[in-house]
Amino acid sequence: MTILGIGGAFGHDPAAALLMDGRLVAAAEEERFLREKHAFGKPAIQAGKFVLEMAGIHPSDVDLVAFPFSPDTQTRQRSAFARRMWTHDPVRSVRAYTEHGRKIRKRRNYLRDTLRGIGIPETAPIREVDHHLAHASSAFHLSGWETAAILSIDGAGGYTATLVAEGRPDGSIHEIASILEPDSLGHYFAGITEYLGFLPNDGEFKVMGMAPYGDPSRVDLGFALRVGNGGYRVEDGYWWVPRRQRSGDLHCSRKLVQQLGPARVGDECLEPYIHIAAAAQRQLEAVAVHLLEHHLAGVLSRNGGRLCVSGGCALNVKMNQVLLEHPLVNEIFVQPVANDAGSAMGAATYAAWERGDRVEAMRHLYLGPEFSDAEISAVLAKQSLPHSRPDSITETVAQLLAEGKICAWFQGRMEFGPRALGNRSILANPSVPGMTDEINLQIKFREKWRPFCPSVLHTQSAEVLGSTHPAPYMILAFDAAEGVRTLIREAVHIDGSIRPQVVDPAANPRYHALLHRFHELTGVPAVINTSLNRRGEPMICRPEEALDMFRGSGLHYLALGDHLVTKQ
């Protein structure tokens, strides 16, 4: 069966994913085609057209469209949501009834407009999948496991903010507990993100990166978020309050600013904001552990300690590290496209399971567009930049990295999701002092305190991570092994942690060959790997965009397929 998943039901991160007989064949975010980060409010038309083209099929060949929004779930939860919302924002409580039908029509109209833009016939069958069920499926059904405990921690989908569930041997996902808005960890962390001067639904990872510079014991945020009795409560009157209660243009209240002080501005990593970031990070970890211990201890004991995690908060790699290190957990699969872009994939996998397809485990995320040598050569022929075609692009780039040069690496199919995994990357030698400052300030144009991640050879991963746990997607953090902290110091964060991508030759042969040759030349088992983009931009998709960035940044080398572009 050919199933097209369409994401973007809640106004951000629209994406498309295509499953054919249970196998994920293509997926991409709309932002990569529009060049608008997160593509707020945009339909996933270009992404949808791409996945069909990549599979070589016509829109009429789609058997089923899966959409991660269920009006049935929203209707069922409406009364409980309205009761809880009454003390938080009475107007929103009333609107749960007065605007219920309009909100459903809005999301169905979004899907209709998307399908019309792609060319999908209006008669195509549609399966509306509960949003958190889609998130849960994206982790459980793609993990390759028969059973698992499941945590889906998000902003909100419908009215659900958090879902705790069990994945069972028959493939079903059984709900154990759910928590509704406004008690949303995702919205709470987004509010902290905005208070700290970053864009909500975008800068949460910056809060995570800032947190290790602070001391969580210096700030008590318990007045705003309370944990206990198997759940948590986001206290009323502080976050996402009615407009009349807000502090200027922020969604937080004047009461919060009176408690914590003025919101942060600028790019510096300063007190007291580093301590607030640390306290918020500690809260997120504590709530996740509380949910795990209260609801999933029995499930984990039965299934051998396997845990699946998804939802937007699952992009927080430090939270994932805490979960992995918990005594109840032996193995963890975190969906690397855990945000709403991944819900397109999850809706498709859930619909495939329902219809009897055996969903194949996810082996890699190289699911986006690729460009032939002829296409790259045609683009370069129109440019005035010096370029050559060395005998071996991997040998040439390995030599450059060994010499301390920074090189952009544009190869093969673009990655699906927010992490660069060696096809749309900027690479550097992590043993060279000052390398991260140069990339941050002259190439990425971003805050100088932001950390970088290493791509690690799979044969050296235990030596670097001090663990044999799989880590192919930069979605888990580990404490770097003592023996390599100095050797790869530019890829180690201030707290001694790393967020690695362990590279296997089966998933990415060319990138693995590059790392292997670099290791032979230097003895260094990893390279710095950061996404090929500048601050505020989506990851690069096309050769033309790579060349535009090359011109407009401090890059001096770009490996564009088999070609090396230089500024010399």
| Alpha carbon separation from 167 to 87, 126, 131, 308, 356 (Å, rounded) | 35, 24, 16, 9, 16
> pLDDT-based confidence at 250, cuts 50/70/90?
confident
DSSP state for residue 454 in the 8-state scheme: E
Spatial CA neighbour of 318 closest among 462, 466, 204 = 204
Q: What is the pLDDT of residue 2?
A: 98
Q: What is the pLDDT of residue 66?
A: 98
Q: What is the pLDDT of residue 38?
A: 96
Q: What percent of the chain has pLDDT over 70?
A: 100
> pLDDT-based confidence at 128, cuts 50/70/90?
very high
CB-based contact 115:62 (threshold 8 Å): no
Alpha-carbon distance 420 to 413, whole Å? 11
* pLDDT tens-digit series, residues 341-358: 999 999 999 999 999 999
Structure tokens of 523?
């003895």
| Confidence check: pLDDT of 568 > 80 | no
| Confidence check: pLDDT of 359 > 90 | yes
Spell out where 338-475 has E strands.
Answer: 387-388, 407-410, 424-428, 453-457
* pLDDT tens-digit series, residues 72-98: 999 999 999 999 999 888 999 999 999
Q: HSE (CB half, 13 Å, CA atoms) of 237? A: 6
* pLDDT tens-digit series, residues 274-295: 999 999 999 999 999 999 999 9
Catalytic: which of 12, 131, 132, 141? 12
CB-based contact 132:138 (threshold 8 Å): no
- Element containing residue 536 per DSSP (H, E): none
| Alpha carbon separation from 30 to 56, 138, 417 (Å, rounded) | 19, 19, 11
* pLDDT tens-digit series, residues 545-566: 999 999 999 999 999 999 999 9
- Per DSSP, the three-state class of 289 is helix
Least confident of 160-174, 402-416, 440-454: 440-454
| Alpha carbon separation from 134 to 95, 129, 131, 192, 518 (Å, rounded) | 26, 6, 5, 26, 40
Domain boundaries, the chain: 2-133+342-354, 373-566
- Superfamily of structural domain 2-133+342-354: ATPase, nucleotide binding domain (3.30.420.40)
Asked about 132 being catalytic, the answer comes back as: no
CATH number for the segment(s) 373-566: 3.90.870.20
* pLDDT tens-digit series, residues 471-527: 999 999 999 999 899 999 999 999 999 999 999 999 999 999 999 999 999 999 999
Q: What is the pLDDT of residue 251?
A: 85
Spatial neighbors of 288 by CB under 8 A, at least 6 apart, are 151, 153, 313, 319, 322, 323
Alpha-carbon distance 98 to 100, whole Å? 6
> pLDDT-based confidence at 55, cuts 50/70/90?
very high
| Confidence check: pLDDT of 114 > 80 | yes
Spatial CA neighbour of 156 closest among 189, 126, 128 = 189
